[in-house]
Structure 1
Amino acid sequence: MSNSDAAAILTTPDLGEALRAVRTLLDIADTVNSEVDFEAVIRSPEVLARLLGLLPGLKWSSSPGGAHGSSDAGDDPARCLPIRVFDWCHPLDLAEPFIAALGSDPAAVRFDLDAWPEVPAAGLERVSQKYAYLTLSVNSRDLFQDELFGDHTVHVHVKNAAWPAHTARIHWLAEQVGGAFTGRVESALL
């Protein structure tokens, strides 16, 4: 397992704007065999019910402050709220229904892409799947749902945000969605 740097390129209170940015980035990326991963903190029974309707086999474990339990043990998640969701390897078309089900609960929706394309005009080489990721933090500014806000942040992942070639890709992707790289970077386990 390795790490990537997740660079924030757009933070907005408008979920529609954040989703448009994600769709634009997905249109740029090679997504033939892409998947989406979900991480969230679910606090309300209503959100839980919507998510279970969408993902009946939802993978979760208890959150600090909640009752102990997990999907692996066959426990009832409604009796263990709040819970942390770690449910991976879903088709891309589940991302927006998952986001719509969240209400005000925080999540990170990570898109595992096949590649970022070569962009000769910008001097960018193709980046293979290993470092071709995109994350939308919903109701949170960070990847881990620690900074809860009423806004949403789009992150693009690179191998090392301090390397000029990777910084150039961050700036180029930010420009494509009307965002800007402010220098805010988090380390993400891949």
Structure 2
Amino acid sequence: MSNSVAAAILTTEDLAKAIRAVRTLLDIADVRQSEVDLEAVIRSSDVLAHVRDVLPDLEWWASAGKEHGSSEAGDDPADCLPIRVFDWCRPLDRAEPFIAALGPDLAAVRWDLDAWPAVPEVGLEEISQKWAYLTLTVNSRDLYQEKPSQDHTIHVHVRNRNGEQTARVHWLADQVGGRFTGRVELAPL
């Protein structure tokens, strides 16, 4: 397992604006073989129903622990609320329907990209999949859904080599009208 540094580049109360920014970043990135990882804390049966429409074979466990219910055990998630969703390696087209289904519940949607491109005009080389991720936290400011918020934050994950992290983070923030404030989180991958 390796770690990534996730830098917050845009925080907004406007979910549509956050999704537009994500689309812009996905247009910049190499996504030919990309996947999306979906994590959430689902607290209500209404949100659960909407999420299950998007992901009928949802992987989850009770927030109180797997011994209190899980998809692995064949339990009914509606009987185990609140639940934590950790559903990884989904096709990219599942991300936006998942986000739309969440309502007020907290989530982190991480796109595992093939690469961030070279940007010769600012001295950036292409960086590979190992260092190329994009995360949108929904109704939360942190990657782990521990800090509920009324806004949504885009985090970019990049390699930190010879100052490249800072330059790429600033460049990516500029592409979506955001700015890097220095807020970073360690993200196990």
Q: TM-score, normalised by structure 2?
A: 0.97
Q: In 2, Cα distance between the equivalents of 1:43 and 1:136?
A: 19
Q: Deviations over 1:75-127 (max 9, x none)?
A: 11000000000000111111100000000000000000000000100100001
- C-alpha contact 1:67 1:81 (8 A) present in aligned 2: no
Q: Deviations over 1:124-167 (max 9, x none)?
A: 0001000100000000000000110110000000233x851111
Give the aligned partner of residue 167 of structure 2.
168
Give the aligned partner of residue 14 of structure 1.
14
- Equivalent position amino acid for 2:178 in 1: G
Number of residues paired by the alignment? Answer: 189
Q: In 2, Cα distance between the equivalents of 1:115 and 1:65?
A: 35
Q: In 1, Cα distance between the equivalents of 2:106 and 2:68?
A: 20
- Equivalent position amino acid for 1:107 in 2: A
Give the aligned partner of residue 86 of structure 1.
86
When structure 1 is superposed on structure 2, of 65-74 and 144-153 the one drifting more is 65-74
Q: Supply the RMSD in Å over aligned alpha carbons.
A: 1.4
Q: In 1, Cα distance between the equivalents of 2:162 and 2:80?
A: 43
Structure-to-structure mapping, 1:90-109, within 5 angstroms: 90-109=90-109
Following superposition, the deviation at residue 66 of structure 1 comes to 9.9
- Equivalent position amino acid for 2:41 in 1: V
Give the aligned partner of residue 159 of structure 1.
159
Following superposition, the deviation at residue 63 of structure 1 comes to 0.3
Distance 1:66 1:45, change over 3 A: farther
Structure-to-structure mapping, 1:28-43, within 5 angstroms: 28-43=28-43
Structure-to-structure mapping, 1:137-152, within 5 angstroms: 137-152=137-152
- C-alpha contact 1:3 1:159 (8 A) present in aligned 2: no
Give the aligned partner of residue 2 of structure 1.
2
Percent of residue pairs identical:
71
Following superposition, the deviation at residue 16 of structure 1 comes to 0.6
Q: TM-score, normalised by structure 1?
A: 0.96
Give the aligned partner of residue 188 of structure 1.
187
- C-alpha contact 1:36 1:111 (8 A) present in aligned 2: yes
Following superposition, the deviation at residue 65 of structure 1 comes to 8.4
Q: In 2, Cα distance between the equivalents of 1:33 and 1:140?
A: 28
Unaligned runs of 5+ in 1: none
Following superposition, the deviation at residue 53 of structure 1 comes to 1.2
Following superposition, the deviation at residue 169 of structure 1 comes to 0.3
Give the aligned partner of residue 53 of structure 1.
53
